[in-house]
Amino acid sequence: MVQGDGKRVLAVQGRRRSGRTHSWYLIAHVLDSHRVNRRRIRMSDYYSPAQVGDIGHALRELFGWDITIDHHTSEDSQARSLVHQIEHLMNGEQRESRDQNGHWLVIDDSQRVRFTEPALRALTRLVTAVVEEEMADRLRIVLLAYDGWLPSELQPYVAYEEFGPITGKDLHDYVRAVAKETGRPTDPDHADRLADELSSRSGGGRVAADDALPMTDALQLAAASWAREQYARGGDRRD
């Protein structure tokens, strides 16, 4: 998807706390090295189902796109207008030969219940336009925590990633990978102790290899902070 090959829409599925939402950080890290304009809409920030106008406002604020929503018309009319305006913007960018490598729209918490029915239809229209190359190959869409609301005819054109439960072994492997990359390879026993320490920092207990490990915000923060410390020390040592 990043190189322009393959599918243009990615749906990330999985159980709650399997890391679906946290995959945004990996996506952002990868895209930043490719000069891609990536933005995320967090649907959990909306207290009620998001309407077409909410999506249009978010796209205008996040991407700076010149999008207007006529709130005096029906939501379905707004949905058609929204997709038409985005299509016009993407094709205009293509004609102007913009250097930037397009846009990635990441919709976090994209479960059906987060949207009104017209808003779902707007997103379905947008996915269809991306799949059918009506966006001048300037737009990619990622649906995080997706729960299957796209119509069956679109599903063959969507790439799917299924996240299984994260286990203690995953945290152990993460610790060893960071240690190796920062020039401080560690043995399995030391990696186990570090994994226990990270779990303890986030309010958890000892980490067993086969036990499910809920990817809480506290654990994510502890693991990321520890990794940043290791990379900073590795950089200082190389200097």
Tell whether 3 is covered by a domain: no
| Same domain as 188, residue 212 | yes
Model pLDDT, residue 98: 63
Residue 129: is its pLDDT beyond 70?
Answer: yes
> With a threshold of 0.85, does the pTM exceed it?
no
| Same domain as 137, residue 35 | yes
In sequence order, which residues have a C-beta less than 8 Å from that of residue 78 and are 6 or more positions away? 52, 53, 56, 69, 70, 71, 118, 122
Model pLDDT, residue 79: 95
| Same domain as 117, residue 79 | yes
| Same domain as 178, residue 159 | no
**Which residue blocks in the chain are alpha helix, DSSP H?**
23-32, 52-63, 75-95, 117-131, 168-181, 188-201, 217-238
Residue with tokens 């090295």, as numbered in its chain:
33
Model pLDDT, residue 63: 95
| Same domain as 29, residue 116 | yes
Residue 234: is its pLDDT beyond 80?
Answer: no
Tell whether 148 is covered by a domain: yes
Residue 20: is its pLDDT beyond 80?
Answer: no
Condensed to tens digits (0 to 9), the pLDDT of residues 150-164 reads: 999 999 999 998 777
Residue 185: is its pLDDT beyond 90?
Answer: no
Domain extent at residue 61: 9-163
Give the DSSP H or E segment for 42. strand 37-42
Q: Taking the CA atoms of the chain, what radius of gyration do you get in angstroms?
A: 21
Residue 120: is its pLDDT beyond 90?
Answer: yes
Residue 238: is its pLDDT beyond 50?
Answer: no
* Mean pLDDT, the chain, whole residue set: 86
Domain limit, last residue, from 133, 163, 193: 163
CA angle 201, 203, 108 (to 5 degrees): 95
| Same domain as 156, residue 180 | no
| Same domain as 158, residue 74 | yes
